[in-house]
Chain A
């Protein structure tokens, strides 16, 4: 069960309202996305902590509605 790209973006914005988000639909099937998120809440956190924050925001979707997501997180600056 895939998720539309703008729904995915809305979902991320819910937890990271000021984030810069870049989403690419890798396969054109609403099911394999590459997501890059730049957010100031990532500052000072390790990559694992940053990814966990995003995973938490997508809880219930990841691995289910959302089959595969490549994730890149960055702190600004």
Chain B
């Protein structure tokens, strides 16, 4: 499991914004993943999409890594921000845009 944790850490270290999701940003395979991906896209965020359906080890590993039972999971600048519900709530309140600006992801 530590090998997969290292692999996940590398993905998070090497990308400012990482979305672990079911499917890809172009072909999401789950409504929650689609919605989260869509929210990021609408804000003009360039993010790395990691399709957990392509890798069972990552799919299980990310849940233990984040101590979070569901997919999608969003990381911004190495920090776990949340899943679909939290991202949606943050988007509605404007917090997500604010956070992305603070982290210099968007202008």
Q: Do A and B come from one complex?
A: yes
Contact residues, B2-23 vs A (CB, 8 A)? none
The reply to whether the CB of B70 lies closer than 8 angstroms to some CB of chain A is yes
Q: Is the CB of B89 within 8 A of A47?
A: yes
Q: Is the CB of A48 within 8 A of B82?
A: yes
Q: Is the CB of B85 within 8 A of A62?
A: no
Given known A-B contacts A47-B89, A72-B89, A62 and B69 have beta carbons under 8 A apart? yes
Chain B positions 22 through 38: 1 when the CB is less than 8 Å from some CB of chain A, otherwise 0: 00000000001000000
- When distances are taken between beta carbons in the complex, the residues of chain A under 8 Å from B69 are 55, 62-63
Q: Is the CB of A55 within 8 A of B85?
A: no
Q: Is the CB of A52 within 8 A of B82?
A: no
- When distances are taken between beta carbons in the complex, the residues of chain A under 8 Å from B80 are 48
Q: Is the CB of B82 within 8 A of A47?
A: yes
Q: A-B pairs with CB below 8 Å: how many?
A: 27
B86's partner among A48, A55, A63 (CB-CB below 8 A) is A48
Q: Is the CB of A71 within 8 A of B68?
A: no
How far is B82's CA from A71's CA once the two chains are assembled, in angstroms? 12
- When distances are taken between beta carbons in the complex, the residues of chain B under 8 Å from A51 are 68, 82-83, 85-86
The reply to whether the CB of B102 lies closer than 8 angstroms to some CB of chain A is no
CB-based nearest B residue for A64: B69
How far is B32's CA from A51's CA once the two chains are assembled, in angstroms? 16
Measured CB to CB, the closest approach of chain A to B54, in angstroms, equals: 19
- When distances are taken between beta carbons in the complex, the residues of chain B under 8 Å from A70 are 84-85
How far is B89's CA from A48's CA once the two chains are assembled, in angstroms? 12
Residues of A that sit less than 8 Å from B by CB: 47-48, 51-52, 55, 62-63, 68, 70-72
